[in-house]
Amino acid sequence: MAKVPLDHATVDACRAAAAAIADDVQRFIDRHTTVGIERTVARAYGVTGADPEGTPLANALVDRIHKAGLAGRGVAYFLGRALLDGASSAQEAAEQIAYGGASLEVEGGPTTNECRGALEAETRKAITRIDEARGARERFKARFPAAEMPLKYVIVATGNIYDDAVQAKAARFAGADIVAVIRATAQSLLDYVPEGPTTEGYGGTYATQENFRIIRKAADEASEETGRYLAQTNYSSGLCMSEIAWMGAVERLDMLLNDAMYGILFRDINMERTFVDQYFSRRIVARSGLVINTGEDNYLTTADAVEKAHTVLASQFINEAFARRAGLSDEQMGLGHAFEIDPWLEDSFLFELAQAQLIRQIFDKHPIKWMPPTKFKTGDVFHSHVHDAMFNLAGVMTHQSIALLGMFSEAIHTPLLMDRYLSLKSAKYVFGTARHLGDEIQWKPGGVVEQRAKEVLLKAHELLVQVKGDSIWDAIGWGAFGDVKRKRTGGKGHAGVVARDPEYLNPILDELEGGR
């Protein structure tokens, strides 16, 4: 593989700065919980269902505890206490608390350890459920030959989960390795996860546990029928980040879009809420063996991709540091970046190659996710198809792991069946015809690619040092990433962040932090 010179001392310094940044946030994480985390714990204990108006029982349960000012004790405390009082299951305990008016009085109640003991079997069952889903996915996947890199990743986005399932199967027959069901616009701002299958949605389909099952079934059928495994992706982001991570883990998904800062920057979700939620969601992901996809590619849609390329690399170091603190292996970190430089800029292809090669070398074990051009797509389908072909060429030359394929109809509509077919056909051609091109060439010493790679790395280091000095809380406030500014206590969901009580109980987190 044609490599760019890499200053390993600077790379180490970047990782050290990112570690300090993440440690500062981790100290906050370790002292707090959120309503989203507590709902996830309830779901892990088997709490399910919704009232006639569609409010999930997990929400009704945690909302009552939160309004009483007791969420800092952890929902597990109250479920355990109800079991000690005679409830036959966590589900019955949740219904008694949410709808039956069971007392929330803490004084004089059982101790935290007594509640932990009452939940011991339920906790073991919850963790086993993740492990069994992981085992089932790995056994099924092992029946099929491994796909060649870059994996061909496409999206489906009909708004109707049953149509999505048909389109997912069609994508596999056309050559896709991964299918992502695009989530309904603004679901990330909902502080609950809808129940059951959904057939309506603007811009996509709701992420629900039943929808995950429907796509998993379709993906498994397509794998059997084509003799090639079809991986499934969805979104673990927004106000229900950890709940969706749990659902993805137990429904055998392969990947989840899960970024430490995407929701803060692009959905205006409170940063304290996001950082605490992402940690718990990633603890679940680590246990389940899923791969996360981070969202640094989005920075280049709001900021200039030449001037701010280093912010992508700096953020990747930070995402890596957060992920390691949550127990993820390097092989589970699909760090994201994108082909978003103005295509009419002279030598822009060399700049794209430099960035892609630099990231490939620095994160050499990570399944790097390579995102296609979108920002400069205009509806000119012929130029878009050429633009996507250049993206495919850069991806295969620099050995990217996961390529989200561009669509010539970008900026016109969500992909139709024939759009996806032509995109997969183009990728198959370019990936095959240039499979070993990157292994046959060397970059000119002192040339454009080498110099650009050095420049991006040095600027990333400068930014990380600055963020370390300011703290990431303030750095996001002055727009360090994506040219987007957010306040620490602003954004949606801050009211759902709660300081942990000294007697806080969360046996699920304790098990996840204890390792496999």
Question: How many residues can be counted in the chain?
Answer: 516
- Active-site position among 45, 77, 153, 262: 262
> SS in 3 state form for 271-298?
HHHHHHHHHHHHHHHHHHCCEEECCHHH
The answer to whether the CB of 354 falls within 8 A of the CB of 456 is yes
Active site residue 217: no
CB atoms within 10 A of CB 86: 9
Active site residue 297: yes
Closest CA to 248 of 263, 230, 233: 233
Q: Which two tokens stand for residue 361?
A: 């070398």
Q: Which two tokens stand for residue 24?
A: 């500062």
Query: What's the chain's Rg over C-alpha atoms?
Result: 23
- Active-site position among 63, 177, 297, 388: 297
Active site residue 470: no
Please list, in sequence order, all residues whose beta carbon lies within 8 angstroms of the beta carbon of residue 297, skipping any fewer than 6 positions away.
Answer: 312, 336, 337, 338, 340, 369, 371
- Active-site position among 152, 308, 369, 492: 369
The answer to whether the CB of 432 falls within 8 A of the CB of 469 is no
Tell the residue number behind the tokens 């306040």, with chain if given.
487
Closest CA to 402 of 441, 430, 372: 372
String of DSSP letters for 31-87: TEEEHHHHHHHHHHTT---B-TTS-BHHHHHHHHHHHTT-GGG-HHHHHHHHHHTT-
Q: Which residues are catalytically annotated?
A: 262, 297, 369
